[in-house]
Structure 1
């Protein structure tokens, strides 16, 4: 595996690489219909800083492997899969700690090169991902069918182009954004 980490021009002295980070949300929704509101998660307190390495495997829809300090033992880093909806304030930070590099590398950590990130972010990749996650996005349903790979901004646009087809906003509410292939009816205005 080649090291594609930061070059000397990109980093200051002692920096070992770039990483996407986020904080655990102050309030997280759990239980049936999200009615159980908790502070933080089971493993991390509210506001805890989590380091998010690039995904090497699919942990599930809207889930992310994360490295952070456990709420019960704040001295050691742990690896846990977290829900993306439990995270906020995505940004890019430099990695300086060998212990953090060891935790981010996980089972791929090379003892011969303890300061080398095995699967590093570039600063640009991490910034693009942070910008994408910081924008509020809404899931889309088209003519009653869910399309999880399509999302729109909040508030949603009145018209949406998908594969050259124009879709029209039919309904926007707590259960997501609904689009239809049928244009909305034109309101008739009588002439005076």
Structure 2
């Protein structure tokens, strides 16, 4: 990667960080490009050089963030498999990876959850696609677990994958907002017990 590409990536990252913080604080409509530029420490023209509009910036922010989350889930499953774990162990590792990601990016996750249900937004199709990409990673592990006899063949894979994804998002946001004194280990342990009891159903 050449230096100009590295600079552009760094600039986009600063703009993403500035935008997610401001929008989480005051909402999308109330946040201006001038404010994003000022918070990022760049000229206003730099924002438009990298993004056609504030809407495009926000859409790219949400897409990029959720792709990072998906990569974290996929990597957790792969590393669990490399250690010789079962597919249920891989699901548990994905739960932990999701919690770790959200603990590092709570504002981004909060924005994603809030915007996912607003179907009149310009970026809603993008959010739907990145959501499905994340859920597809979970579905893949669930199908492997069913095929290996680790989970019951009666499991509704698509719905279970969506439920697991939603469980991690909502539990993590609840933890960050209302139970911040808890450690990530405590939250993971609680969700792990739920996963083992409800999804694996004692089949392991």
TM-score scaled to structure 1, two decimals? 0.26
Larger radius of gyration: 1
Bigger proportion of residues as strand: 1
Query: RCO greater where, 1 or 2, for CA within 8 Å and sep 6 or more?
Result: 2
Bigger proportion of residues as helix: 2
